[in-house]
Structure 1
Amino acid sequence: MRAIPGWLPDDPEERAAIQSECEEPVHHSDALSTTNDYMSDPNAHDDPASRSEPATASLTAANDASTGAAEQHQTRIHLIGTRSIFAPLPPVSWIVKGLQLGAGRPAVFAGYGSSGKTSAAQALALAVASGRASWEHPDFSCERPRRVIHIDHEQGRRGTLLKYQRLAAGMGIDWERDLEDRLSVSVFPRFYLNTPDAEEAYAALCAEHGAELIIIDALKGATPGSDENDSKIRESLDNLTRVSERTKTAFVVLHHAGKIKEGQTDGRMALRGSSAIYDAAGLVLLMHGEHGRPKRVMHQKNAPDAGDEIIEDFFLTLEVIRPDGEKGEPGASRVVYRAVEEVEGERSADERKQELIDRVREVVAAQPGIGARALRDRIGGKAELVDEAVNSLVSSGEMEKVKDGRSHAHYLKERRRDGTDG
């Protein structure tokens, strides 16, 4: 007889089905042990009578085992009755509604290595635990502080804790005042998403600590030995879906992805591994961008309860407010939301600046010794922008300005005034 779990669903039919299963005795087959006893008796092969008795016992035991297995399988498939199907549904348990983060299928935040997904996830954890807007964007606000657990299979204790200290300092969060005891971290735990008791272990974790959001970093580390290219990887994410439906805990799973190719828009092609990962997820966000630049976040898939709501693409930027101190004191940083128009506008300005620098380089290479006024006239546009491009080349050591009478002559370092190579 199996013990009745501490948690039971609100639905009366589901509750009755689980209680019924736990009250039934578990059937065990003794066919294997009977056959082994028979095979270990050398005299049994010589006596037809003795040979028939264990064979009959084996067959009977096998039939009993088959019947018992069928009964067990029937009780393990819980049906939702007609009345419950059409009963009013409870409101959606949103954690961050604007981000489509709530109970149900796990959200997947994906990006290639060093794309900033872990920093973004830890900033999200701090915001939810303190009841603030995630990434300082008002549309991603949290109604109240929530209990958050971060399960780290990736960074290790020092890396994870140091990053939390930096982010808290950058976000102006005092842990005693703003967090109390609502944020916890587990580093390299000894249970995984693909262990046989994963569902019960996670359900117990949620129930014991009242967790409302759990972040798992990352899927590969949480499923050791599993082939992410095999569709069976979905079973690990389905474990989280079942736990979430039981406990109302929201899950965010970080996952690796390849670099986005030009014109690529299908998230299933970007996520590393089987497309079953994409299929098992609710919300899917994909992060990508150049090192040191803001990372574009592409909304690839809606959470099931979000309907037709679309999260417009946005950027996240990691701002280092204060570097780490010489004596090991943690610095301060924050992850900030930025609109696409803002970042792309800056990128266009950078591109225009680079085009101007390339033009200055081209003119000076063709006409070494050209003066400042002649250079401005040759290139055109605003004089201050040309001077800025010149100063950039001089600062980088690629070009030099030489005083020549009342003006300055401009030379590339590779071809100096005397004609020798620099």
Structure 2
Amino acid sequence: MTTTSPRTVFEPEHEMFRRTVRSFVKQEVAPHYSEWEDAGVVDRAVFLAAGELGMLLFGTPESLGGAGSRDWRFSAVVNEEFARAGFASVGLGLALQNDVAAPYFLDLADAEQQQRWLPGLTSGELIAAVAMTEPGTGSDLAGISTTARRVGDDYILNGAKTFITNGQNADLVVVAARTSEDRHRGLTLFVVERDMPGFERGRNLDKLGLHGQDTSELFFSDVRVPARNRLGTTEGEGFYQLVRNLSQERLSLAVMAAASAEGMLDHTREYALGRRAFGRPVGTFQHSRFVLAEIRTEIDIARVFVDHCIGLHVRGELSPVRAAEAKWWVSDLQVRTADRCLQLHGGYGYMREYPIARAFVDSRVQTIYAGTNEIMKELIGRDMGLGE
């Protein structure tokens, strides 16, 4: 690796697990990744293979087939290794299962719900998605218009969602729906299952990057969801349940962004040393040296901050504002790194057969999802007393 910052946040057991994940990426992902990119969706078998190695839902109790560990550093290792290797389409799908969806099932599901869902989510037999974003609603969760109306022992769900990660593969979808007109106390979360009548998947969206990641439109037309599929003890808790989980999601993206930048730098350094122009390696020109030196320094700074945030999260001390700082700054760094590294590749950087080309298009969305970076800055500014 070309970065030099010390990694003190991880223990020996995490580094041992890292070797397992790295081997998995090399053997189970790399040989098939191009096929999944062409197909527009990752083979479900990769979730099963990851589950067999204990790479999913680390917090699932042992009695339900999990490791029973709430140490988020294991999930961070998974995120880092996929991102560093440049396989973001698979890494994002696993991160969605581990970091975004898992808290709803581990923390909000009751004992009966956990018995139904956790074993499959942990083994990879079941794939999860979280449906918040709507065609007319982006970062404004309080603007969600999908409705759920109570009728006896069921809720009748109507509405549409878009940009849903794991949308085609998902067996369980955590759906945010409006159960009253109150903007913040009127949202409730439900788990919609694959074969419920009225639940339909729209097209697999044609994205700029992340071509192997199934990102979909979802439609709900009079879907009858049993009340036993509601998450939380009462109606109206959904907005606060969603917000509570955003810090972990944003830290997860920051972790992936830093590791992706490291991977891009490693590839570019190797290319710059091997590619010759005017009788010498392009990496030995002063401009190339300076650019690579700048990138490495920025990544080292990002790595120290991200590791600090990981430590805070493990201790239960990561604030939403700190997570927002990590998400916006490190994802911006990832985009800048992709741009500069592609430039150093010259014309070859524009060819899709080179990893930097894929990294360039995959990186761009990092500043958009889980709350745009403009929203992150708004949160930080308000924390400084600068809100309206």
Into which bin does the TM-score normalised by the smaller protein fall? under 0.3
Greater RCO, 1 or 2 (C-alpha within 8 Å, sep 6+)? 2
From the two aligned structures, give the one with the greater helix fraction.
2
TM (normalized to structure 1)?
0.22
Larger radius of gyration: 1
